Structure 1
Amino acid sequence: MGPGAAASVAERSAVVERRAPGFWREHWVVVLLLVAGVGLRVVAELGYRPALWFWADSFAYVNAGVDPQPLESRPSGYSLFLWGLWPLRSFMVVTVVQHLLGVAMGVLVYAVVRRRGRVPGWGAALAAAPVLLDVHMVQLEHLVMADLLFTFLVTAGVAAVLWWRRPPVWTAALAGGLLAAATLTRTVGLAVLVVVLVYMVLCRAGWRAVVAAGLVAAVGVGGYAVWFRSVHGSYGLGQSNVWLWARTMSFADCAKMPDLGEERVLCPTVPPDQRLTPPRYIWAEESPLAAVKKDADRERLSGRFAKEAILAQPFDFLRTGVGDALWAFEWTRRVYPAKGPQSAYVFPAAIDPFDDKTASGGMSAAELTAVYQGVRADTAVVEPYAGWLRAYQTQGYVRGPLLAVILLVGLVGVVARWRRLGAPVLLPWTAAVVLLVLPPMIAAFDHRYVVPVLPVACLAAGLAFGWRGTQEPGNVT
């Protein structure tokens, strides 16, 4: 090596040495949070092996993951995710990937707030902290369910649009693909896709970018609808009218629906204050739905009834859904609709082994999980790691009033810049509100549906806190 080359190497080393302390000064808070967040997820992997399960939804997803098919009652996006990981033959790999996606969401929130909000490192880290440290986010990542994947896809799609002041065509197409995938994971993603497209128009992203996002999304969602028709005989993402019908059972008064025909058989028979919770109306033997034996008739009649009930009582429909959504802001998490500590979606002290009941596809949970990974996947609770998580989860989460504050900060940012409809805070805040309100309006309140609100709500709060008008990065058009 000659003198010139040696000098060049020395100069590069000096630059690296100067940059490293600068990087640490800029990002040390989020680095510490990342270490803590990764630590929580490592403890989850050690304490609950290989995964947590939700009966019987988890096994329906796994069944469609080993035999790819469009599920009848929900989209199969998560099953395709499981199918993609199937060659690795491990549910522990599935949860590790999901934990990595959870950490990635925290990084996305931090990066977008730093870039578009122009806030100090500690401020952006504060916005990312709930995503990285909320124990219920960690639990959702450890659950074999669609919600974590959906949350990541929505967060990534919103972040892609926000990365540039006016997103270039390739970024818009990426966002459209991510949000199409989110829609095929949970149908509420379609509402977020609409929000994103409207925002792109308001921020003057340009017709090429809007068309690119819309076209990619349409191809993805439309292609799935064609696949669904080839199996179930009609275009769609799932047949879920019974969920909307069950939601109307909270308020429906058949005396106000004179045009009911054969769907009158689904009328409730008890006063509103004595009725079951919406999900129980789908499964309970005492539900009017139990009198309808054929699945096709259930779907057809429940769809008609729900339409008539909403048209006859629109304000009751809105009041019920919005009122249930407000439960997310209570101090103590609750099981819908009874008051008291939340018992679901936590790290439990003990988990029973799989039983012999049929879980999905004619197989038991033990048989189905063995098909996926070679051996059955009963959850083992391993101490002391599981105990550490249970101790942390008593306080380590975003309580309802704090979530309300986070959303309020975002709202302040929206109101303060109402003259600039393309302000970046508008998109994540609107997406957060849609994710909070829509599920209890069309199905039921469930804290599993509240956790996905957190990343986009924190993103909105961070942008509201730090955005400085027109001093934003440009873009390539």
Structure 2
Amino acid sequence: MTSSLVAVLPPATVVQAVARGHRLFAAVLALAAALRVLVMLGYDTAQLYWYDSFTYLDTAVNLRPNGAFHPAGYSWFLWLMRPFHSVELVAGVQHVIGLGVGVMIYSLLRRRSLPGWGATLAAVPVLFDPAFVRLEHAILSDMQVIALVVGALLLMMWHERVPVRLAAAAGLLLALAGLTRTAAVPLIGLALLHLLIRRAGRRPFLAMALAATLPLLAYAGWYAQHHGRFALSGSDGVALWARTMTFADCSLVQPPPEEARLCPNGTVADAASEYVWAPTASLNLLPGGRFAHNDLARSFAVRVITSQPLDYLAEVVKDTSLAFTWEPVPHPRRMNPTTSFPHGSWPLPEQHALIGEVRRAYDPDIRGMRSVEPFGSLLAAYPYPWFLHGTLFGVLLLAGGIGSIGRRRPALLPWAFAMFLLVAPVAALDFDHRYVLPAIPLACLAAALAVAGTPRPRCRPVRREEITVRTAGPGSS
């Protein structure tokens, strides 16, 4: 319909028609941008976390793959921003990316026939939730992963049948998401499976497969040059070992002597992820450091899971259920989830040499973050009445699941992505409220698509004489 109108209406008329159709979202987007300006004014620098932020910055400075948890995808973005020597500018760009995610959600849903108010409502969480805005203001990879995954969905779902070029572009975006956070790598398999289910054809399938796998293979080769192992990271075994520490029973598993050294040794933590860092945990007592024993840890963890599958499943279900509580539950207890903007100051641990290195090489003004008045007090009082409580998040997933059933399955792909990104971190390591966030925009998309139903029907071309009749008013000549 839009292309037909463009062909017969003057350009000014088309612009006015488009503007009228998106006024609500334009107003919401302007408010979201104003909120981000307030955040930039309310804090004197970007939020930096030990150890994640400085690992990303160190990789950006030295351009080598990190041997532990973080692949280099986000560090490549930081490397592109390095000539400006400003983590504040990085935060500003990430705020723009956050707005872009909202625009992509809205655009896809309008393309799929959802009315403007419904598409706008689906974009509200990512535009206004303090948790998302705080991610944008931090040197963390989360917002990049969210933008890449939503961008891939946009390309795959823009047309009823995915063109080859868009399938390749979506595959590349998913590969970059996997190189930003390895938990996103299996999304490539889900996307390819979706193409098979939709009978998209051989060429789009092959285009996506090649565009997605070649960057991963190239990165694994680069990783092998530096660390002697063809992989994307060196922490998968350590993470899975920590996952098993909450239920492993070596009297049942009976591991061989080499692996038996990794059995629970009496150290008790209140969350699986805490075992990675607990100095008295069995893995951390081995010589050479925890990541030097990644392969041994993986072998032990797989043995425990195959010996105690029901115990493993029970732990995954129990921790995943924390995402659906009405009020966020601290997990682990030292990490208190918040649904507001913090107020105060947060100094850096200056004793770590890595901080001095990235300060010299990346941004001489790297420092702890503090609130700036009067903007900091305004942010602290910021009301978020649309806070997406965990129970409502569960309702969205349920609605998306219902929309994934049937012949057309309009919500299937975003719902599958959302469910995987929700459960996979728990299955591989532990629950974290921060790890739930990438699933929320996808759950909103899935629920909205379930309501929208089928894609927008094709409209017949509008003839010039019909436009003349419809636009003619009283007194027209």
Establish whether TM, by shorter chain, passes 0.5.
yes
1:449 maps to 2:435:
yes
Cα 1:238/1:53, change in 2 over 3 Å: same
Superposed displacement of residue 466, structure 1: 0.9
**Is the CA contact 1:172–1:213 (under 8 Å) kept in the aligned structure 2?**
yes
Is the 8 Å Cα contact of residues 346 and 370 (structure 2) preserved in structure 1? no
Q: How does 1:133-148 map to 2 (within 5 A)?
A: 133-148=128-143
- The size of the alignment, in residue pairs, is 450
Give the corresponding residue for 2:468: none
Mapping for residues 10-409 of structure 1, pairs under 5 Å: 15-73=10-68, 74-116=70-112, 118-240=113-235, 241-270=237-266, 275-295=269-289, 297-338=292-333, 342=337, 347-358=341-352, 362-363=353-354, 365-392=355-382, 395=385, 397-409=387-399
Are 2:401 and 1:411 equivalent residues in the alignment? yes
Indicate conservation of the 8 Å contact 2:57/2:75, yes or no: yes
Shift in Å, 1:366: 4.8
Letter in 2 for 1:84: L
CA contact (8 A) 2:105 2:122 kept: yes
**TM-score under structure 2 length normalisation:** 0.89
CA distance in 1, matches of 2:454, 2:162: 19
Which blocks of at least 5 consecutive residues in structure 2 are unaligned? 1-6, 461-477
Contact 1:131–1:137 (8 Å) recurs in 2: yes
Q: Quick check: 2:272–2:430 contact (8 Å CA) kept in 1?
A: yes
Q: Deviations over 1:11-55 (max 9, x none)?
A: x9x935533442333111111110111111111111112201121
Q: How far apart, in 2, do the equivalents of 1:216 and 1:167 lie?
A: 15
For residue 55 of structure 1, give the secondary structure of its aligned residue in structure 2.
coil
Kindly indicate whether structure 1 or structure 2 has the higher relative contact order, using CA contacts under 8 Å at least 6 residues apart.
1
Instruction: Specify the alignment match of 1:6 in structure 2.
Output: none
Amino acid at match of 1:453: A
SS of the residue corresponding to residue 327 of structure 1 reads helix
Aligned to 2:420: 434
- Percent sequence identity is 37
Worse-matched range after superposition: 375-384 or 223-232: 375-384
With 179-188 and 85-94 compared, the bigger mean Cα shift is at 85-94
Contact 2:129–2:384 (8 Å) recurs in 1:
no
Distance in 2 (alpha carbons) for counterparts of 1:390 and 1:382: 11
* Residue range with higher mean Cα deviation, 135-144 or 259-268: 259-268
Q: For residue 230 of structure 1, report the CA deviation from its aligned partner.
A: 0.2
Per-residue Cα deviation, 1:229-279 (whole angstroms, up to 9, x for no partner): 0000010000111111001111111111124331111111349xx544222
The answer as to whether partners of 2:91 and 2:139 remain within 8 angstroms in 1 is: yes
Distance (Å, rounded) in 2 between the aligned partners of 1:427 and 1:205 = 14
Q: Compute the RMSD of aligned alpha carbons.
A: 2.3
CA, structure 1 residues 205+92, in 2 after alignment: closer, same or farther (shift >3 Å)?
same
